[in-house]
Amino acid sequence: MTRKYFGTDGIRGQANREPLTPHTLARLGQAIGLHFMRGNHRHRVVIGKDTRLSGYMVESALVSGFVSVGIDVAMVGSMPTPGVAMLTRSMRADLGVMISASHNPFADNGIKLFDPDGFKLSDKVEKEIENRLEGALLLAHPPALGQMVHLEDAMGRYMEFVKSSLPRHSHFEGLRIVVDCANGAAYKAAPLVLKELGATVIPLGVSPNGQNINDACGATSPQMMCEAVRQEKAHVGIAFDGDADRVVFADEKGAVVDGDQIMALIATDWQEHGLLQGKGIVATHMSNLGFERYLNQRGLDLIRTSIGDRYVAEAMRDTGCNLGGESSGHVILSDYATSGDGLLTALQVLLVLKLKQQPASQVLTVFKPMSQVLRNVKLSPVLLEFPEAQEVMNTARQTLENKGRLLVRPSGTEPLIRIMAEAEDEKFASQIVDSIAATLANLSKKQVA
Protein backbone atom coordinates (compact mmCIF):
# COMPACT_ATOMS: atom_id res chain seq x y z
CA MET A 1 0.00 0.00 0.00
CA THR A 2 1.82 3.10 -1.24
CA ARG A 3 1.68 6.14 1.02
CA LYS A 4 2.94 9.62 0.18
CA TYR A 5 3.46 11.09 3.64
CA PHE A 6 3.57 8.26 6.16
CA GLY A 7 6.56 5.99 6.66
CA THR A 8 7.48 3.26 9.13
CA ASP A 9 6.67 5.42 12.14
CA GLY A 10 4.41 8.33 11.24
CA ILE A 11 5.57 11.26 9.13
CA ARG A 12 9.20 12.31 9.26
CA GLY A 13 11.51 14.64 7.35
CA GLN A 14 13.52 17.84 7.54
CA ALA A 15 11.75 20.62 9.40
CA ASN A 16 10.37 23.46 7.26
CA ARG A 17 10.71 21.34 4.13
CA GLU A 18 7.81 19.41 2.61
CA PRO A 19 5.84 17.81 4.05
CA LEU A 20 6.83 19.49 7.32
CA THR A 21 6.00 23.05 6.28
CA PRO A 22 3.39 25.10 8.15
CA HIS A 23 1.00 25.03 5.20
CA THR A 24 1.09 21.25 4.75
CA LEU A 25 1.09 20.58 8.50
CA ALA A 26 -2.05 22.70 8.94
CA ARG A 27 -3.79 20.71 6.22
CA LEU A 28 -2.57 17.47 7.81
CA GLY A 29 -4.08 18.64 11.09
CA GLN A 30 -7.36 19.27 9.36
CA ALA A 31 -7.36 15.91 7.55
CA ILE A 32 -6.33 13.96 10.65
CA GLY A 33 -8.87 15.80 12.76
CA LEU A 34 -11.74 15.20 10.36
CA HIS A 35 -10.91 11.51 10.21
CA PHE A 36 -11.30 11.17 13.99
CA MET A 37 -14.43 13.31 14.34
CA ARG A 38 -17.09 10.74 15.09
CA GLY A 39 -20.19 11.36 17.16
CA ASN A 40 -21.65 14.60 18.53
CA HIS A 41 -19.35 15.12 21.54
CA ARG A 42 -16.64 17.78 21.82
CA HIS A 43 -13.60 16.25 20.18
CA ARG A 44 -10.13 16.56 21.70
CA VAL A 45 -6.54 15.87 20.68
CA VAL A 46 -3.53 15.61 23.02
CA ILE A 47 -0.30 17.04 21.57
CA GLY A 48 3.18 16.52 22.99
CA LYS A 49 6.66 17.13 21.60
CA ASP A 50 10.34 16.50 22.20
CA THR A 51 12.91 19.29 22.62
CA ARG A 52 13.65 20.20 18.99
CA LEU A 53 13.66 23.86 18.06
CA SER A 54 11.26 23.16 15.18
CA GLY A 55 8.74 21.64 17.59
CA TYR A 56 7.18 25.05 18.19
CA MET A 57 6.56 25.56 14.47
CA VAL A 58 5.15 22.07 13.92
CA GLU A 59 2.98 22.33 17.01
CA SER A 60 1.53 25.72 16.04
CA ALA A 61 0.72 24.59 12.50
CA LEU A 62 -0.98 21.38 13.65
CA VAL A 63 -2.94 23.22 16.34
CA SER A 64 -4.30 25.71 13.80
CA GLY A 65 -5.41 22.80 11.63
CA PHE A 66 -7.16 20.96 14.44
CA VAL A 67 -8.86 24.06 15.83
CA SER A 68 -10.05 25.10 12.37
CA VAL A 69 -12.08 21.89 11.97
CA GLY A 70 -13.57 22.12 15.46
CA ILE A 71 -11.26 19.99 17.62
CA ASP A 72 -10.13 21.07 21.08
CA VAL A 73 -6.40 20.79 21.73
CA ALA A 74 -4.67 19.85 25.01
CA MET A 75 -0.98 20.76 24.78
CA VAL A 76 1.31 18.90 27.18
CA GLY A 77 4.67 20.37 26.15
CA SER A 78 7.86 18.32 26.25
CA MET A 79 6.80 14.75 26.96
CA PRO A 80 8.05 11.21 26.13
CA THR A 81 6.12 9.60 23.30
CA PRO A 82 4.62 6.90 25.55
CA GLY A 83 3.38 9.66 27.84
CA VAL A 84 1.31 11.07 24.99
CA ALA A 85 -0.12 7.61 24.27
CA MET A 86 -0.99 7.16 27.96
CA LEU A 87 -2.60 10.58 28.28
CA THR A 88 -4.63 10.09 25.09
CA ARG A 89 -6.21 7.02 26.59
CA SER A 90 -6.61 8.25 30.17
CA MET A 91 -8.12 11.59 29.10
CA ARG A 92 -10.58 9.85 26.75
CA ALA A 93 -9.22 11.95 23.88
CA ASP A 94 -10.06 11.19 20.28
CA LEU A 95 -6.47 11.36 19.12
CA GLY A 96 -2.90 11.76 20.34
CA VAL A 97 -0.04 13.45 18.48
CA MET A 98 3.65 13.28 19.34
CA ILE A 99 5.90 15.75 17.53
CA SER A 100 9.29 14.08 17.20
CA ALA A 101 11.77 12.57 14.79
CA SER A 102 12.85 10.09 17.46
CA HIS A 103 16.58 9.34 17.12
CA ASN A 104 17.12 11.58 14.06
CA PRO A 105 19.25 14.77 14.19
CA PHE A 106 17.65 17.98 15.45
CA ALA A 107 17.06 19.40 11.93
CA ASP A 108 14.50 16.63 11.31
CA ASN A 109 11.09 16.40 12.85
CA GLY A 110 7.93 14.38 12.47
CA ILE A 111 4.58 13.39 13.91
CA LYS A 112 3.45 10.13 15.46
CA LEU A 113 -0.28 9.51 15.82
CA PHE A 114 -2.24 7.52 18.40
CA ASP A 115 -5.87 6.41 18.25
CA PRO A 116 -8.27 6.84 21.21
CA ASP A 117 -6.95 3.62 22.79
CA GLY A 118 -3.35 4.84 22.66
CA PHE A 119 -2.24 2.62 19.76
CA LYS A 120 -0.37 3.80 16.68
CA LEU A 121 -2.41 3.94 13.50
CA SER A 122 -2.59 1.11 10.99
CA ASP A 123 -1.40 1.43 7.40
CA LYS A 124 -5.04 1.46 6.32
CA VAL A 125 -5.96 4.44 8.50
CA GLU A 126 -2.86 6.37 7.43
CA LYS A 127 -3.82 5.83 3.79
CA GLU A 128 -7.36 7.04 4.49
CA ILE A 129 -5.95 10.24 6.02
CA GLU A 130 -3.76 10.81 2.97
CA ASN A 131 -6.79 10.35 0.72
CA ARG A 132 -8.58 13.13 2.59
CA LEU A 133 -5.78 15.52 1.73
CA GLU A 134 -6.57 15.10 -1.96
CA GLY A 135 -10.01 16.68 -1.59
CA ALA A 136 -11.67 19.68 0.05
CA LEU A 137 -11.45 19.87 3.84
CA LEU A 138 -14.58 21.04 5.64
CA LEU A 139 -13.83 23.89 8.04
CA ALA A 140 -15.88 24.59 11.16
CA HIS A 141 -18.21 27.57 11.46
CA PRO A 142 -16.98 30.23 13.95
CA PRO A 143 -19.12 29.05 16.90
CA ALA A 144 -17.80 25.51 16.44
CA LEU A 145 -14.08 26.29 16.37
CA GLY A 146 -11.87 24.30 18.69
CA GLN A 147 -10.26 25.61 21.86
CA MET A 148 -6.69 25.25 23.12
CA VAL A 149 -5.46 24.60 26.68
CA HIS A 150 -2.10 23.79 28.27
CA LEU A 151 -2.25 20.73 30.50
CA GLU A 152 -0.12 21.79 33.46
CA ASP A 153 0.15 18.46 35.33
CA ALA A 154 0.87 16.23 32.32
CA MET A 155 4.43 15.28 33.31
CA GLY A 156 3.37 14.47 36.84
CA ARG A 157 0.63 12.18 35.56
CA TYR A 158 3.12 10.31 33.40
CA MET A 159 5.67 9.95 36.20
CA GLU A 160 3.07 8.49 38.54
CA PHE A 161 1.92 6.15 35.78
CA VAL A 162 5.38 4.61 35.24
CA LYS A 163 6.06 4.29 38.97
CA SER A 164 2.73 2.50 39.43
CA SER A 165 4.07 -0.35 37.25
CA LEU A 166 6.34 -1.43 40.12
CA PRO A 167 5.19 -3.48 43.12
CA ARG A 168 4.37 -1.37 46.14
CA HIS A 169 7.38 -0.47 48.31
CA SER A 170 9.85 -1.15 45.46
CA HIS A 171 12.91 1.06 45.63
CA PHE A 172 16.36 1.38 44.08
CA GLU A 173 18.32 2.56 47.09
CA GLY A 174 21.97 1.59 46.81
CA LEU A 175 22.02 1.69 43.00
CA ARG A 176 24.26 4.20 41.23
CA ILE A 177 22.75 4.81 37.80
CA VAL A 178 24.04 6.87 34.87
CA VAL A 179 21.03 8.22 32.99
CA ASP A 180 21.52 9.70 29.50
CA CYS A 181 18.36 11.47 28.34
CA ALA A 182 19.74 12.48 24.90
CA ASN A 183 18.81 16.12 25.60
CA GLY A 184 15.36 14.94 24.64
CA ALA A 185 11.88 14.35 25.98
CA ALA A 186 12.89 12.38 29.10
CA TYR A 187 15.29 15.01 30.44
CA LYS A 188 12.98 15.90 33.34
CA ALA A 189 10.98 12.74 33.99
CA ALA A 190 13.66 10.03 33.97
CA PRO A 191 16.10 11.49 36.54
CA LEU A 192 13.23 12.58 38.81
CA VAL A 193 11.51 9.18 38.79
CA LEU A 194 14.75 7.35 39.59
CA LYS A 195 15.64 9.79 42.36
CA GLU A 196 12.17 9.45 43.87
CA LEU A 197 12.70 5.68 43.89
CA GLY A 198 15.89 6.11 45.89
CA ALA A 199 18.61 5.69 43.27
CA THR A 200 21.75 7.79 43.09
CA VAL A 201 21.50 9.38 39.63
CA ILE A 202 24.35 10.65 37.47
CA PRO A 203 22.47 12.59 34.75
CA LEU A 204 23.70 13.16 31.20
CA GLY A 205 21.97 14.84 28.27
CA VAL A 206 19.61 16.86 30.46
CA SER A 207 20.34 20.35 29.09
CA PRO A 208 18.37 20.63 25.84
CA ASN A 209 18.86 23.81 23.80
CA GLY A 210 16.70 22.90 20.81
CA GLN A 211 19.64 21.75 18.70
CA ASN A 212 21.55 19.20 20.79
CA ILE A 213 18.96 16.41 20.89
CA ASN A 214 20.65 13.06 20.04
CA ASP A 215 23.93 14.91 19.48
CA ALA A 216 26.63 12.37 20.43
CA CYS A 217 24.42 11.15 23.23
CA GLY A 218 21.43 8.93 23.93
CA ALA A 219 20.47 5.44 22.84
CA THR A 220 21.94 5.73 19.36
CA SER A 221 25.26 7.14 20.64
CA PRO A 222 25.76 5.41 23.99
CA GLN A 223 29.54 5.88 24.19
CA MET A 224 29.27 8.82 26.60
CA MET A 225 27.00 6.81 28.88
CA CYS A 226 29.36 3.83 28.83
CA GLU A 227 32.37 5.98 29.70
CA ALA A 228 30.46 7.68 32.51
CA VAL A 229 29.51 4.29 33.98
CA ARG A 230 33.17 3.34 34.17
CA GLN A 231 34.33 6.68 35.52
CA GLU A 232 31.58 6.99 38.12
CA LYS A 233 31.79 3.31 39.09
CA ALA A 234 28.06 3.06 38.53
CA HIS A 235 26.12 -0.19 38.77
CA VAL A 236 24.37 0.37 35.45
CA GLY A 237 23.79 2.93 32.70
CA ILE A 238 20.56 3.82 30.90
CA ALA A 239 20.27 5.77 27.64
CA PHE A 240 17.05 6.95 26.00
CA ASP A 241 16.54 8.27 22.50
CA GLY A 242 15.11 11.71 21.69
CA ASP A 243 11.48 10.86 22.41
CA ALA A 244 12.23 8.23 25.08
CA ASP A 245 10.27 5.37 23.55
CA ARG A 246 13.44 3.28 23.40
CA VAL A 247 16.21 2.48 25.86
CA VAL A 248 19.56 0.70 25.87
CA PHE A 249 21.72 -0.15 28.86
CA ALA A 250 25.36 -0.42 29.86
CA ASP A 251 26.59 -2.90 32.45
CA GLU A 252 29.03 -1.95 35.21
CA LYS A 253 31.93 -2.52 32.79
CA GLY A 254 30.50 -0.06 30.27
CA ALA A 255 29.41 -2.71 27.75
CA VAL A 256 26.23 -1.90 25.79
CA VAL A 257 23.17 -4.10 26.32
CA ASP A 258 20.55 -3.96 23.55
CA GLY A 259 16.82 -4.54 23.37
CA ASP A 260 17.07 -8.27 22.65
CA GLN A 261 18.90 -8.93 25.92
CA ILE A 262 16.39 -6.75 27.77
CA MET A 263 13.43 -8.62 26.31
CA ALA A 264 15.11 -11.93 27.15
CA LEU A 265 15.62 -10.77 30.75
CA ILE A 266 12.02 -9.64 31.20
CA ALA A 267 10.68 -12.75 29.44
CA THR A 268 12.69 -15.01 31.74
CA ASP A 269 11.60 -13.16 34.88
CA TRP A 270 7.95 -13.03 33.84
CA GLN A 271 7.92 -16.68 32.81
CA GLU A 272 9.38 -17.72 36.18
CA HIS A 273 6.73 -15.69 38.01
CA GLY A 274 3.82 -16.79 35.81
CA LEU A 275 3.33 -13.34 34.32
CA LEU A 276 4.21 -14.02 30.69
CA GLN A 277 1.19 -14.32 28.42
CA GLY A 278 0.88 -15.91 24.99
CA LYS A 279 3.19 -18.53 23.53
CA GLY A 280 6.25 -16.35 23.28
CA ILE A 281 7.65 -12.93 22.47
CA VAL A 282 6.91 -10.68 19.50
CA ALA A 283 9.92 -9.04 17.84
CA THR A 284 10.97 -7.84 14.42
CA HIS A 285 13.17 -9.43 11.77
CA MET A 286 16.11 -7.49 13.23
CA SER A 287 16.17 -9.46 16.49
CA ASN A 288 19.16 -11.72 16.93
CA LEU A 289 18.98 -15.39 16.04
CA GLY A 290 20.66 -16.16 19.35
CA PHE A 291 17.67 -14.58 21.10
CA GLU A 292 15.30 -16.81 19.15
CA ARG A 293 17.28 -19.95 20.02
CA TYR A 294 17.33 -18.97 23.70
CA LEU A 295 13.55 -18.56 23.77
CA ASN A 296 13.08 -21.89 21.99
CA GLN A 297 15.14 -23.59 24.70
CA ARG A 298 12.67 -22.21 27.24
CA GLY A 299 9.70 -23.48 25.24
CA LEU A 300 8.84 -20.04 23.86
CA ASP A 301 8.41 -18.83 20.30
CA LEU A 302 9.86 -15.70 18.74
CA ILE A 303 7.08 -14.28 16.59
CA ARG A 304 8.72 -11.99 14.02
CA THR A 305 7.11 -8.98 12.36
CA SER A 306 8.05 -6.22 9.95
CA ILE A 307 10.31 -3.45 11.23
CA GLY A 308 8.45 -0.92 13.38
CA ASP A 309 7.09 -1.12 16.92
CA ARG A 310 3.53 -0.54 15.72
CA TYR A 311 3.70 -3.83 13.81
CA VAL A 312 4.97 -5.47 16.99
CA ALA A 313 2.03 -4.01 18.94
CA GLU A 314 -0.45 -5.25 16.34
CA ALA A 315 0.99 -8.77 16.46
CA MET A 316 0.94 -8.75 20.26
CA ARG A 317 -2.77 -8.00 20.21
CA ASP A 318 -3.37 -10.72 17.62
CA THR A 319 -1.38 -13.40 19.50
CA GLY A 320 -2.19 -12.48 23.09
CA CYS A 321 1.45 -11.83 23.98
CA ASN A 322 2.18 -9.20 26.61
CA LEU A 323 5.87 -8.67 25.79
CA GLY A 324 7.44 -7.59 22.53
CA GLY A 325 9.78 -5.08 20.98
CA GLU A 326 12.79 -4.36 18.84
CA SER A 327 16.51 -4.94 19.28
CA SER A 328 16.97 -1.17 18.99
CA GLY A 329 15.43 -0.82 22.45
CA HIS A 330 11.72 -0.31 21.77
CA VAL A 331 10.09 -2.63 24.31
CA ILE A 332 6.33 -2.92 24.69
CA LEU A 333 4.94 -4.13 28.00
CA SER A 334 1.27 -4.33 27.15
CA ASP A 335 0.17 -5.00 30.73
CA TYR A 336 1.01 -1.35 31.31
CA ALA A 337 1.43 0.51 28.01
CA THR A 338 0.30 0.52 24.39
CA SER A 339 3.64 1.52 22.87
CA GLY A 340 7.35 1.31 23.53
CA ASP A 341 8.28 3.09 26.75
CA GLY A 342 11.96 3.50 27.62
CA LEU A 343 11.44 4.60 31.21
CA LEU A 344 8.84 1.93 31.96
CA THR A 345 11.19 -0.71 30.54
CA ALA A 346 14.11 0.66 32.56
CA LEU A 347 12.15 0.31 35.79
CA GLN A 348 11.35 -3.34 35.08
CA VAL A 349 15.01 -4.10 34.38
CA LEU A 350 16.22 -2.22 37.45
CA LEU A 351 13.72 -4.14 39.57
CA VAL A 352 15.28 -7.45 38.50
CA LEU A 353 18.79 -6.04 38.98
CA LYS A 354 17.94 -4.86 42.49
CA LEU A 355 16.34 -8.16 43.52
CA LYS A 356 19.15 -10.35 42.19
CA GLN A 357 21.90 -8.34 43.90
CA GLN A 358 24.36 -9.39 41.18
CA PRO A 359 26.54 -7.32 38.80
CA ALA A 360 24.70 -5.99 35.76
CA SER A 361 27.11 -7.86 33.46
CA GLN A 362 25.72 -11.13 34.85
CA VAL A 363 22.08 -10.13 35.06
CA LEU A 364 21.77 -8.35 31.70
CA THR A 365 23.65 -10.93 29.59
CA VAL A 366 20.94 -13.53 29.18
CA PHE A 367 21.98 -15.29 25.96
CA LYS A 368 24.99 -15.45 23.64
CA PRO A 369 24.15 -13.41 20.54
CA MET A 370 25.24 -14.40 17.07
CA SER A 371 27.53 -11.97 15.28
CA GLN A 372 25.35 -9.42 13.53
CA VAL A 373 26.79 -7.03 10.95
CA LEU A 374 24.65 -4.10 9.85
CA ARG A 375 25.53 -1.56 7.19
CA ASN A 376 23.50 1.39 5.92
CA VAL A 377 24.24 2.40 2.33
CA LYS A 378 22.95 5.64 0.83
CA LEU A 379 21.58 4.20 -2.39
CA SER A 380 18.17 4.08 -4.05
CA PRO A 381 15.96 1.19 -2.84
CA VAL A 382 14.98 0.64 -6.49
CA LEU A 383 18.32 -1.13 -6.92
CA LEU A 384 17.02 -4.03 -4.83
CA GLU A 385 14.66 -4.97 -7.67
CA PHE A 386 17.47 -5.49 -10.22
CA PRO A 387 18.24 -9.13 -11.20
CA GLU A 388 21.92 -8.75 -10.21
CA ALA A 389 20.91 -7.63 -6.73
CA GLN A 390 18.39 -10.42 -6.37
CA GLU A 391 20.99 -12.97 -7.45
CA VAL A 392 23.66 -11.91 -4.94
CA MET A 393 21.09 -11.85 -2.13
CA ASN A 394 19.73 -15.30 -3.01
CA THR A 395 23.26 -16.70 -3.09
CA ALA A 396 23.95 -15.20 0.33
CA ARG A 397 20.77 -16.69 1.80
CA GLN A 398 21.70 -20.13 0.48
CA THR A 399 25.17 -19.80 2.00
CA LEU A 400 23.68 -18.82 5.36
CA GLU A 401 20.98 -21.49 5.38
CA ASN A 402 20.65 -22.99 8.89
CA LYS A 403 23.77 -21.06 9.94
CA GLY A 404 22.53 -17.49 10.04
CA ARG A 405 20.21 -14.90 8.51
CA LEU A 406 20.20 -12.14 5.91
CA LEU A 407 17.92 -9.12 5.88
CA VAL A 408 18.12 -6.41 3.20
CA ARG A 409 15.51 -3.66 3.25
CA PRO A 410 14.95 0.01 2.48
CA SER A 411 14.80 2.25 5.54
CA GLY A 412 11.33 3.46 6.43
CA THR A 413 12.60 6.73 7.87
CA GLU A 414 15.75 7.65 5.89
CA PRO A 415 16.95 7.38 2.24
CA LEU A 416 19.02 4.28 2.93
CA ILE A 417 19.27 0.57 2.20
CA ARG A 418 19.93 -1.44 5.35
CA ILE A 419 21.93 -4.67 4.98
CA MET A 420 22.13 -7.06 7.92
CA ALA A 421 23.78 -10.49 8.09
CA GLU A 422 24.03 -12.85 11.05
CA ALA A 423 26.42 -15.76 11.47
CA GLU A 424 28.48 -17.51 14.11
CA ASP A 425 31.58 -15.91 12.60
CA GLU A 426 31.62 -12.10 12.36
CA LYS A 427 34.14 -12.09 9.51
CA PHE A 428 31.89 -14.36 7.46
CA ALA A 429 28.89 -12.09 8.08
CA SER A 430 30.96 -9.03 7.12
CA GLN A 431 31.99 -10.65 3.84
CA ILE A 432 28.36 -11.24 2.92
CA VAL A 433 27.39 -7.65 3.75
CA ASP A 434 30.39 -6.32 1.79
CA SER A 435 29.47 -8.40 -1.24
CA ILE A 436 25.89 -7.14 -1.35
CA ALA A 437 26.92 -3.52 -0.72
CA ALA A 438 29.51 -3.71 -3.53
CA THR A 439 26.95 -5.15 -5.96
CA LEU A 440 24.46 -2.39 -5.16
CA ALA A 441 27.17 0.28 -5.52
CA ASN A 442 28.18 -1.05 -8.94
CA LEU A 443 24.55 -1.12 -10.06
CA SER A 444 24.18 2.50 -8.96
CA LYS A 445 27.26 3.54 -10.95
CA LYS A 446 25.87 1.83 -14.08
CA GLN A 447 22.60 3.73 -13.68
CA VAL A 448 24.43 7.05 -13.43
CA ALA A 449 26.58 6.22 -16.44
For 19-39, the pLDDT digits (tens) are 999 999 999 999 999 999 988
Q: What is the mean pLDDT of the chain?
A: 95
pLDDT at 341: 98
Is residue 40 within 8 Å of 5, Cβ to Cβ?
Answer: no
Catalytic residues: 102
Residue 90 pLDDT exceeds 90: yes
First to last CA, the chain: 32
Closest by CA position to 374, among listed 311, 437, 329 = 437
Is residue 226 within 8 Å of 256, Cβ to Cβ?
Answer: yes
Phi, psi dihedral angles at 71 (to 5 degrees): -105, 130
CATH of domain 371-448: 3.30.310.50
Distance CA 113, CA 127 (A): 13
Residue 447 pLDDT exceeds 80: no
Distance CA 315, CA 160 (A): 28
How much of the chain exceeds pLDDT 70, in percent? 99
Residue 422 φ/ψ region, left for φ over 0, alpha for ψ in the -120 to 50 degree band, beta for the rest:
beta
Q: Which residues pair with 237 in a beta bridge?
A: 178, 250
* Ordered strands of the 371-377 beta sheet: 371-377, 417-423, 404-410
Residue 196 pLDDT exceeds 90: yes
Alpha carbons within 13 angstroms on the beta-carbon side of residue 331 total 28
Domain 11-152 indexed as CATH 3.40.120.10: yes
Q: Which helix (H) or strand (E) holds 291?
A: helix 289-297
Please enumerate in sequence order all residues whose Cβ is within 8 A of that of 405, keeping only pairs 6 or more positions apart, or say none: 289, 420, 421, 422
Distance CA 341, CA 309 (A): 11
CA torsion 57-101-128-384 (nearest 10°) is 140
**How large is the average pLDDT for residues 337-364?**
97
pLDDT at 54: 98
pLDDT at 141: 96
For 392-440, the pLDDT digits (tens) are 999 999 999 878 999 998 886 677 899 999 999 999 999 999 999 999 9
For 95-139, the pLDDT digits (tens) are 999 999 999 999 999 999 999 999 999 999 999 999 999 999 999
Is residue 126 within 8 Å of 117, Cβ to Cβ?
Answer: no
11-152 and 158-256 in the same fold: yes
Query: CATH number of 158-256: 3.40.640.10, 3.40.120.10, 3.40.50.880, 3.40.605.10?
Result: 3.40.120.10
Query: CATH number of 259-363: 2.40.128.20, 3.40.120.10, 3.40.50.12160, 3.40.50.620?
Result: 3.40.120.10
pLDDT at 8: 79
pLDDT level of residue 4 (50, 70, 90 thresholds): confident
For 319-347, the pLDDT digits (tens) are 999 999 999 999 999 999 999 999 999 99
pLDDT at 199: 98
Residue 9 pLDDT exceeds 90: no
Q: In the chain, what are the domain boundaries?
A: 11-152, 158-256, 259-363, 371-448
pLDDT at 221: 97
Verify cis geometry, omega within 30 degrees of 0, for the bond prior to 19. Answer: yes
**How large is the average pLDDT for residues 191-203?**
98
For 274-303, the pLDDT digits (tens) are 999 999 999 999 999 999 999 999 999 999
